[in-house]
């Protein structure tokens, strides 16, 4: 985990790469998920392709599901949204 965080600080991560870091937090460091999710969501709103209110709502709901045990389904949806 430390390696992933160091890499994230050193290099500008793409939206998809930043999401992967959020997913790592969801799996291994749940205390960091909420803050990382909010940062990623802000980036998604600014950098995402063809973001709509519905897609933003879906992304936020999926991020909220990560710590609730719906990790796989939420991760799949978020990856699709990140790719545009």
What is the tens place of the pLDDT at every residue in 48-72? Answer: 999 999 999 999 999 999 987 778 9
What is the reported pLDDT for 59?
A: 98
Q: Is 5 exposed, middle or buried (0-12, 13-18, 19+ CB in 10 A)?
A: middle
State the CB neighbour count (10 A cutoff) for residue 84: 12
Whole-prediction pTM: 0.85
Domain that holds residue 40: 2-83
What is the reported pLDDT for 6?
A: 47
Q: What is the pLDDT of residues 17-50, one digit of tens each?
A: 999 999 999 999 999 999 999 999 999 999 999 9
Query: What's the average model confidence in pLDDT over 69-84?
Result: 91
Tokens read off for 53: 């209110």
Tokens read off for 48: 């995402």
Q: Is 65 exposed, middle or buried (0-12, 13-18, 19+ CB in 10 A)?
A: middle
If one counts the domains in the chain, the total is: 1
């Amino acid at each position: 985990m430390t390696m992933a965080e160091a890499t994230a600080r050193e290099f500008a991560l793409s939206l998809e790469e930043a999401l992967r870091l959020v997913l790592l937090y969801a799996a291994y460091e749940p205390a960091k998920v909420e803050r990382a999710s909010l940062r990623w969501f802000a980036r998604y709103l600014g950098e995402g392709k063809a973001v709509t209110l519905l897609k933003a709502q879906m992304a936020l709901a999926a991020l909220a599901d990560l710590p609730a045990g719906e990790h796989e389904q939420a991760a799949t949806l978020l990856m699709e949204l990140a790719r545009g």
